Amino acid sequence: MAAHDRTPLIARLLPSSLRSRLTLTILLTNVSLVIAGALVLAVFASLDHPARLEREANSALRVVASNISHEVALADAIAASAAVSPAFGSGVDEPGDEVARAQARLEGVVVNTSGTAALLLSSDGETLVTIGGERDVTRVASIVRAVGLAETSGLIYLDDDRLAAASVRELSPSGSGWLVLIREIDVGSLSRLDVGFSATGSARPGDTLLPAPPSQAFSTAVVSGPDTDLLVRGELIGIDDRPVGWLTVALDDESGLPDVLGLSFLVAAGLAVVVGLVVGVGLTVLVRRPVEMLVSHVRHHGHAALEGHEVAHLEQDPVLPVEFRKLADVYNSLLDHLARRQAEVSEATSALRFAVDDSSEAKILLRDDRVTLVNAAASTLLGIPADSPLAEWDEALESLTIEAEDGTRLSPDELLAAACVEPTVVKISRSGIPTRWVEVRGVGHADTHKTTLLTGRDVTEQRRVDAVRNEIVSLVTHDLRAPLTVISGYLDLLERQLPDDARSKAVASARRSAERMGLLLEDLLTATRAEELFAPVVHDPVSLAALAEETAASFEHASAHRIAATATGRGVVLGEERRLRQVLVNIVSNAMKHASEAGSIDIVVESRDSRVFAIVEDDGPGVPEPDREIIFERFARLATNGENRPGIGLGLYIVRAIVESHGGTVHVEGRPDGRSGARFVVELPEAPSDPAASEP
């Protein structure tokens, strides 16, 4: 870390303990908050006083104007409803009972709606019926005549500085008169503040005129009054668009102080945060340097400790806080301990790897369900990289498909649990590696890390050999015993006195059974040596067309089927004639077994696109599509309606082995003409027309 003489002066002045330095930071931040809050409150309180008064005045007048508008609208709604009353429907210009009923109805409207006064005027403006005080009625009538007979509503003032809402409505549907309704407004209920009304008044010296009244109900608005009793006064507009009077609202000078306090608090908090950040940055600079040195030391020396090498200690600066010096001591101790333990682990791992690397069996060591050791055999068998240990067990085998002998899928954890109980044989497959049968055994150790050693042995070849052995035993038991029994029976007959023709027939039958046994044994030997026969011994030009004609001719007298061979093109391939002849013979023999009695078998040789096709068609039942790949497997025999056809299922297997060794393919399909039967297609590369090109 930095030398003592290069440490900033502020680091020497600060407390040595990190806790003390943080406490100092908090203390300075709190002091800054108090000072900044007091200053901001004083500044905002002085700067915001006029604007705050204007806001409060506008707000108070808006509330009062809204309530006044509500009162006027209520009076207008009552008048409009009363104007359509049946009591006024026949008109009030005619004397008699109609006027009496109208007066009774008008009185009911005033009483039921808390009205102050009401007038019923004729169509020419003459007062017919009145309800209310005489002075109020006279005042209202004069205002209505001044306004003119028209439907309207608004404010009027009454005697004794009373404010009222007035509404003028034409009687309907007759249109024979007018209804005027007056409702006095309780000024004190217009606001939670102290509100008053005066029919007289004007702006006073020293009043502050508001730039714009907050509502159309006022023509002028001013703020006046001493500092201890602030008033906002607004001149109201009446129903005749002339001033009605002045509305006065008493303001509380301290009502806007919470807003100032809130804004001051936000600004003070912002300033305190800024001060705290400045102090914090200063302390961060002092704290960051030792932390960065610690991180740099870990980055450069931590890997060396993990590899078991001795590492240099972290130097300490005596000016650093006590906590950092203790942290450095703990870090140095842990680094030494880690280096020693890793050295021991490396030695133990090397010894263990030496013991298992040369083993032909797969060895995997697990600790805490993590792969810690993999030998070369396990890497090859399971595809686990030997140079990437410490992988989770289930992640290491997640790309593998694991199946039990009964076909049940197993997870890596299920395989581990089963192998620790008894040896378990599973089939393992994955893209990129061949399918293998593996016998897995597990041995667990009773320690805190759940150490387990897994051993895997490849038993694929053993299972294949066992399967072939079982197939051969079954074959010998079934297919060779039958002709042997026939031969034994004919030998017993030959010991007796038989006519010459019977003796000749018995000898011929015994010979055919012996030949059949010979063919079966030859097929068995050929199948077991199929890998040796894959590569032809010679690469001579061979005419498949000629072989097709020869094969058809060889079966002409030995079968009741009609066998015909046709060819188009050269039909010449490179290979061993003996093996290619065997291909055609085996396919035709297979067709003879399945074709209908006295049916036809066609051999066609075609040349196109540098390929030669040998096609054999029969008129038998054909091969079901799901079985078209299986029939080329070793010992594959398809059941056909319970018939027991001769053969051991090696003919088509030998065909595929020979064709693939010559670089070709073979498959079976249905006949293209839609009739029943099988169509075997052999495809081989066509030999070059230039003889020199065929030389290896």
Dump pLDDT digits (tens) for 635-684. 666 655 545 455 567 788 888 888 988 889 999 998 888 888 899 999 99
Using the predicted structure, report yes or no on whether residue 689 has a pLDDT greater than 80: no
Nearest to 604 by CA among 637, 576, 640, 567: 567
Nearest to 586 by CA among 528, 639, 519: 519
Residues 6+ apart with CB under 8 A from 123: 93, 149, 175, 176, 177, 178
Amino acid at 518: G
Query: Where do the domains of the chain lie?
Result: 51-251, 357-458, 465-528, 530-694
Alpha-carbon distance 251 to 139, whole Å? Answer: 33
Task: State residue 483 phi and psi, 5-degree precision.
Answer: -65, -30
Reported as a pLDDT band with limits 50, 70 and 90, residue 42 is: low
Q: Which of 35-39, 222-226, 490-494 has the highest mean pLDDT?
A: 490-494
Q: DSSP character for 566?
A: E
CATH of domain 357-458: 3.30.450.20
- Domain 465-528 class? mainly alpha
CA dihedral 635, 640, 646, 649 (to 10 degrees): -10
Place of tokens 């040789």: 605
Report, as an integer, the average pLDDT of 273-297: 70
pLDDT at 572: 93
Using the predicted structure, report yes or no on whether residue 625 has a pLDDT greater than 60: yes
Nearest to 127 by CA among 159, 149, 154: 149
Report, as an integer, the average pLDDT of 426-440: 82
Using the predicted structure, report yes or no on whether residue 385 has a pLDDT greater than 60: yes
- Higher-confidence residue of 6 and 596: namely 596
The CATH T-level fold of domain 530-694 is: Heat Shock Protein 90 (3.30.565)
- For the ranges 49-53, 113-117, 341-345, 420-424, the lowest mean pLDDT is seen at 49-53
Give the tens place of pLDDT for each residue, 98-107. Answer: 677 777 887 8
- Higher-confidence residue of 382 and 93: namely 382
